[in-house]
Amino acid sequence: MVATNRVYLLLVSGIAIAPICAMLFGIPASIAIALLFDVLVLGLMVVDGLRVRRARVQISREIPSRLSIGRDNSVVLKVTSENTNAVIQIRDDYPTGFGVSASELRANVACNTTQELTYTVHPTQRGEFDWGNIQVRQLGLWGLAWDDWQIKQKLKVKVYPDLVGLRSLSIRLALQSSGSIRQRRMGIGTEFAELRNYRTGDDLRLIDWKATARRVGASGNTPPLVRVLEPEQEQTLIILLDRGRLMTAKVQGLQRFDWGLNATLSLALAGLHRGDRVGVGVFDRQMHTWIPPERGQNYLTHLIDRLTPIQPVLLESDYLGAVTNVVQQQTRRALVVLITDIVDVTASTELLAALSRLAPRYLPFCVTLRDPQVDRRAHTFTENVTDAYVRAVALDLLAQRQVAFAKLKQKGVLVLDAPAHQITDQLVERYLQLKARNQL
pLDDT in tens, 238-260: 999 999 999 999 999 999 999 99
Q: What is the pLDDT of residue 342?
A: 85
Chain-centre distance of CA 419, in angstroms?
Answer: 15
What percent of the chain shows pLDDT beyond 70?
91
Q: Which long-range contacts (CB under 8 A, 24 or more apart) does 400-407 make?
A: 400/343, 400/344, 400/345, 401/342, 401/344, 401/368, 401/370, 403/345, 404/342, 404/344, 404/345, 404/348, 404/351, 404/352, 405/342, 405/366, 407/345, 407/348, 407/352
- Same domain (yes/no): 277, 422: yes
Look at the chain and count its residues: 440
Q: What is the pLDDT of residue 178?
A: 65
41 part of a folded domain: yes
8 A C-beta contact, residue 412 and residue 365? no
Q: Give me the phi and psi of 162, to 5 degrees please.
A: -75, 80
pLDDT in tens, 209-241: 888 777 766 555 678 888 776 555 578 999 999
| 10-24, 136-150, 199-213: segment of lowest average pLDDT | 10-24
Cα 113 from Cα 257, distance rounded (Å): 46
- Same domain (yes/no): 41, 172: no
pLDDT in tens, 291-343: 999 998 889 999 999 999 999 999 999 999 999 999 999 888 999 999 999 87
- Same domain (yes/no): 67, 198: no
The residue ranking higher by pLDDT, 74 or 201, is 74
Whether the predicted pLDDT of 368 surpasses 80? yes
Nearest to 239 by CA among 258, 266, 214: 266
- The 8-class DSSP code of residue 233 comes to S
- Same domain (yes/no): 221, 344: no
Whether the predicted pLDDT of 40 surpasses 80? yes
Structural domain total, the chain? 4
Chain-centre distance of CA 269, in angstroms?
Answer: 15
Mean pLDDT of 24-50: 79
Mean pLDDT of 276-301: 94
Whether the predicted pLDDT of 187 surpasses 60? no
Whole-Å CA distances, 427 to 168, 312, 415, 418, 419: 15, 21, 10, 9, 11
- Same domain (yes/no): 45, 105: no
Nearest to 415 by CA among 322, 341, 333, 323: 341
Q: Give me the phi and psi of 351, to 5 degrees please.
A: -60, -45
Mean pLDDT of 174-178: 78
Q: What is the pLDDT of residue 258?
A: 97
186 part of a folded domain: no
- Same domain (yes/no): 273, 303: yes
Residues 6+ apart with CB under 8 A from 8: none
pLDDT in tens, 346-366: 777 889 889 988 988 899 999
Q: What is the pLDDT of residue 216?
A: 66
Cα 435 from Cα 235, distance rounded (Å): 9
Q: What is the pLDDT of residue 219?
A: 56
pLDDT in tens, 113-136: 999 999 999 999 999 999 999 999
8 A C-beta contact, residue 39 and residue 11? no
185 part of a folded domain: no
Whether the predicted pLDDT of 180 surpasses 80? no
CATH number at residue 308: 3.40.50.410
- Same domain (yes/no): 220, 251: no
How deeply is 264 buried, as exposed, middle or buried, from its count of CB atoms within 10 A (0-12, 13-18, 19+)? buried
Alpha helices in 26-85 (DSSP H): 27-53
73 part of a folded domain: yes
Strands 99-100 and 113-122: antiparallel
- Same domain (yes/no): 143, 169: no
- Same domain (yes/no): 195, 283: no
- Same domain (yes/no): 146, 15: no
pLDDT in tens, 67-80: 999 999 999 999 99
- Same domain (yes/no): 348, 202: no
- Same domain (yes/no): 44, 63: no
Cα 317 from Cα 1, distance rounded (Å): 58
Whether the predicted pLDDT of 390 surpasses 80? yes
Q: What is the pLDDT of residue 439?
A: 73
Share the mean pLDDT of the chain.
87
Q: Give me the phi and psi of 61, to 5 degrees please.
A: -115, 135
Domain interval for residue 30: 2-53
Q: Which of 38, 53, 68 is the last residue of a domain?
A: 53
Cα 117 from Cα 92, distance rounded (Å): 11
Mean pLDDT of 182-200: 59
Residue 186: pLDDT band with limits 50, 70, 90: very low
Nearest to 185 by CA among 229, 140, 240, 126: 229
